[in-house]
Amino acid sequence: RAVGTEPHFFDRNYEKGLEWYRNVMPKTLEGQITMEKTPSYFVTNEAPRRIHSMAKDTKLIVVVRNPVTRAISDYTQTLSKKPDIPTFEVLAFKNRTLGLIDASWSAIRIGIYALHLENWLQYFPLSQILFVSGERLITDPAGEMAKVQDFLGLKRIVTEKHFYFNKTKGFPCLKKPEDSSAPRCLGKSKGRTHPKIDPDVIHRLRKFYKPFNVMFYQMTGQDFQWEQEESDK
């Protein structure tokens, strides 16, 4: 059972106390798993310690994608709410002539996964963290979901037959085979068309992220092949 909205307990609402958090959570029966999703926890310094002090055996799931695409997607989201912000190119650099990337800009900082993971590994063993590939979630949703179900100790109920690819949105949507209700797709904030970004900026960002990506692969023991993806393009 999952909370519908992001509770933001371990970052913004922590002072409201554990009772508040409990009340936000859905009622679960024995044998059910309670889940919530708040992406900003991953980059919040206090979150690992706070979660660990509440329940140190909590299982954590982190969906990661190519940090360059992630940064552009992040910018696209902000742009839809604030159309008058500077261009991606302007925000991405401290100094465009020297090619200095501005790592303090949150859209870029979030993608330095190794940095954030280091914080989590001080409190949680790798065995309690599952890293889901955002790319494979699109190309092979059932395969990634099989890993999630195994990690949570659940029977593999969600399989290929639960997904179909929505060409308009550009990603898979969920359908319930036994149910004739309309398929569930992610909301309109997902699958937005990204603005055209100067190829030189993308090239510089790839170079910037590469050492951090390699470090992340070593820390997780998983190769997400983000560099390979780029050489294919």
Q: How would you label 37-73 residue by residue, b for 16+ Cβ within 10 Å and e otherwise?
A: ebeebbbbeebbeebbeeeeeeebebebbbbbbbbbb
226 with 67: CB under 8 angstroms? yes
- How many angstroms separate the first and last alpha carbons of the chain? 39
What are the binding residues?
65, 73, 190-194
User: Using CA atoms, how far apart are residues 214 and 226, in angstroms rounded to an integer?
Assistant: 10
Residues belonging to the binding site for 3'-phosphoadenylyl sulfate are 65, 73, 190-194
Q: Which residue has the tokens 């990204």?
A: 194
Cα 115 off chain centre by: 15
Residue holding tokens 């926890």? 41
